[in-house]
Amino acid sequence: MKRPLISILNSSTFGKHFSEHIATLESFADLKHITVPADINADDLAEQIKDSDGIIASVTPKIPRRTLEQCKNLVLLVRHGIGCDNVDTEAATELGIMVSRVEGIVEKEAVAEYAISLLLAGGRKLVQGAIAVKNSAWATRSGMVGIELKGKTIGIIGLGNIGSRSSEILSKGFGANVVASDPYIAKEKFAEFGAKEVPLDELIRESSAILFHCPATDETKRMLGEAQFASMKKGVVLVNTCRGELVDEDALCKALENGTLGAYATDVVEGEPIDGNHRLTKLDNAIITPHLGGYSWESLHGMGQTCVDDSVSVFQKNGIPGTMANPEVLQKENRRVWQ
């Protein structure tokens, strides 16, 4: 019986901690582990993956149309994560390739808790304090005064699975006044999650801290720029667990340097991975972690299981994956199926 070739692309965690995921795939498929530079060009990437029937892809590299056009056998591309912004889903749909992803609820607790951790780290200068002690600078603590969350207006941009959970934690757990903006959530849901619906410009203007919980789309990229930073209260803590592209980096650095932002606590950076030469790493009020939001044991297991389940559905059951990024492909006459 013919076995599909499934390539595991740039994932440092899939199968590493949960060997049963690899074992399940190996029971019906041949696996190929591929690691490429995040900025690999389209043709070089195609050379690596063009024989794949299925791909389990990390957040890098970008998989553009030019690459997908050379993957003549590709039936299914599964993102080992929530966002599919590194995959040209429009091209995949035109070519008849199914693209699936991890449903937000799988990472809901992990990312929401991590966002709150970043908020606390930025608001209470936890990282600066830890570094000070290691540098024998205990006495500098007088310059590390932070904010309390109780009673503060905290803004959340995006009230989906993860944003709604952050809202519940902040409003019910910390006693914060949560305001939120999300044009895609029913108005009655805001109060259910402990938030008050406000226009985005009001959220930016009135909040003492702001959390991003929205995807990077044409609508949201660079949504915070020079004008938005200028309208903020002085000393705002900005938290980003979504995508670096949501912020204009030039304007961000200026806001950190002039004190408009008290802190930028982020788990994501445009063009990641970055190194210590990146300009954000030179700013004391910027906290950067290496995309760890989904890195809880529970979340990683759920993410891996989603990739396995989708692969089993397509390659063993001739079915369709669970959470599709391009469901419209199912109506295409040229939709590819495993045979």
Respond yes or no: is residue 124 known to be catalytic: no
Is 272 tagged catalytic?
Answer: yes
Bridge partners of residue 240, in order along the sequence: 212, 266
Catalytic residue among 69, 94, 206, 272: 272
Rounded-to-integer distance, Cα 9 and Cα 58, Å? 6
Beta strands 195-197; 177-181: pairing state: parallel
Cα–Cα dist 108/332, whole Å: 32
In angstroms, the CA 195 to CA 213 distance is 14
> Quick one: tokens of 45?
């990437």
Assess contact for 56 and 6: CB atoms under 8 A.
yes
Catalytically annotated residue among 79, 124, 165, 291: 291
Cα(339)–Cα(323) distance, integer angstroms: 22
Question: Which residue shows structure tokens 């959970």?
Answer: 165
The active-site residue out of 101, 243, 245, 336 is 243
Residue 109 annotated in active site: no
Which residues are marked as active site?
243, 272, 291
